Amino acid sequence: MSAETVTIGEAARRTGVSAKMIRWYEATGLLPPAARSEAGYRHYDEADLHTLRFVRRARDLGFSVEAIAGLLALWRDRARPSAGVKAIAQEQIVDLRRRIAEMEDMARTLERLAESCCGDDRPECPILDDLAAKDRAPAPPRRSPASAALATHAAHQRDKRGR
């Protein structure tokens, strides 16, 4: 391997992404398969490290793997319209605000339950009663913040091919 590549451990150290996650990002396609030494060790070049830093920052901002895949596709496409990127970011903001509101609801519920619990030697506990309640509806499935922007990018790609 050339002096311009680093092992997975060094890539992890330089990017703040664990070796386990680097392998997982490779397996899921967020990161292209690493070059291999004759002994089979993975080696990463500066472009791979840049991609890992991009993924790490996107994960730090709460983007899903699906959204990151869309953002990576847009990042790599230098002719992309920025509208797709902005749409993904705006959907992420909406999703973050929704999750914050859900967490605030959970905190209020737990505060109410904790206040109603005596916390003494008696076995009665409204917290456990609430958790064991049979009449709770399951939470609705979450929508990915990347779907609309990915569709926009795909349409842009089709338009570029049609030119």
Domain boundaries, the chain: 6-60, 82-162
Rounded Cα–Cα distance for residues 81 and 83 (Å): 5
Q: Which residues contact 133 (CB under 8 A, 6 or more apart)?
A: none
User: What's the rounded Cα separation, in Å, for the pair 42 and 54?
Assistant: 20
pLDDT at residue 161, rounded to an integer: 61
* pLDDT at residue 137 in the model: 72
pLDDT, residue 155, reads 58
Structure confidence at residue 44 (pLDDT): 97
Residue 30 has a pLDDT of 94
The sign one gets for the Cα dihedral 42, 48, 50, 53 is negative
Under CATH, which number does the domain 6-60 receive? 1.10.1660.10
* Rounded distance between C-alpha atoms, residue 84 and residue 73, angstroms: 10
Residue 58 to residue 72: CA distance in whole angstroms: 10
Question: Is the pTM higher than 0.75?
Answer: no
pLDDT of the chain, 163 residues: tens digit per residue: 555 999 999 999 999 999 999 999 999 999 999 999 999 999 999 999 999 999 999 999 999 999 999 999 999 999 999 999 999 999 999 999 999 999 999 999 999 999 999 989 999 999 999 999 988 777 666 555 555 555 555 555 566 666 5
